[in-house]
Amino acid sequence: YKRQALGSLAGCDFKVKQALLNASEFHQPIPAPAPGDWLEDHSEDGQTFDQYKGGKWNLVDKKKNVLYILPLQKMEENFLTACQQFCTAFFYGMEVKLHHGVQLSKLKIESRINPGTEKIQYKASNILQKAKKHLPSDAYAMICILHDDLYPRDEWNYVFGLADLSGRTGVFSFARYNPIFFGEKEPENLEQIILYRACKVMSHELGHMFGLKHCVFYSCAMNGSNHMEEASTRPLYECPVCLRKLQLAIGFNIVERYKALQIVCSSFGNSFGEDAKWYQLRVADIEKSLSKIKKVKTVSYTHLRAHETSLHLVCRLLL
């Protein structure tokens, strides 16, 4: 099932092929959904590589090759720069820019007070509809960020983020990633917690804008999440199936991308430590496999002739 989802590797670039192998050693199967989990509430068949390859999604080209991060509310510049750095590594080969100048208050977004939290929520679908009017001409996609909570439509309680593939816009809130939102005591590493969780949902929503659907094959950055506990179990890297899709879309060198992510995660430290270690181990494994391939030398015809006997010579003359 998982192997079929990855697609045939025949004719695949050998460097890409090596990066897609040994999946069982580095990727865990997606756990069986518990009550309240995403796959318990949503029936999804997943998206194979062949389905992705044959589908219709926005192409990266010379005119539209920039990812934009648009803060809709006032945020610390250090936080936005960190988001930019992570996106630059995650979507390796894409230029990532910060887009300022559009404020949530000026967009006149539909809102409500959530009866459970008694906090304001903004309608995510309405944000996407109005944000695409501010999409720069060179944008492949744009992700909007805000502090306040989101809901996708009236029937839903909340949503972490939402993306519009055709509109090339997405939005996410880190309201529920902040323990203070639930009345909990502020932890010492609050900034780290918010950044780590923001990088997860940001890369997930941008992944949708590259045409990637929710993953059902492995524990993966593209898994759906219904609640905070489920979201916290998702890794900060894609499974081989989703990695192959993203590589096809952007065309990056997988090893160089992994190295860039290892550097960024290591520089962020703390919450990113385990992911930095994973990227480091993955690079070492791929490079080890590639070095073995390079050591295999083709035996030359001259070398074979040097070991011929007279019987071999007679046979070769007869041929």
- Is residue 205 flagged as an active site residue? yes
What residue type is assigned to position 160 of the chain? Answer: F
CA distances from 145 to 150, 162, 169, 234, 266 (A): 11, 11, 11, 20, 24
Distance CA 319, CA 312 (A): 11
For residue 282, how many other CB atoms are within 10 A of its CB? Answer: 22
Do 121 and 157 contact (CB within 8 A), yes or no? no
Provide the pairing of β-strand 95-98 with 169-173.
unpaired
What's the alpha-carbon Rg for the chain, to the nearest Å? 24
CA distances from 302 to 120, 231, 294, 296 (A): 79, 61, 21, 17
3-state DSSP assignment of residue 102? coil
Residues 6+ apart with CB under 8 A from 244: 6, 7, 16, 20, 49
Q: Which of 205, 238, 274, 308 is catalytic?
A: 205
Residues annotated catalytic, as ranges: 205
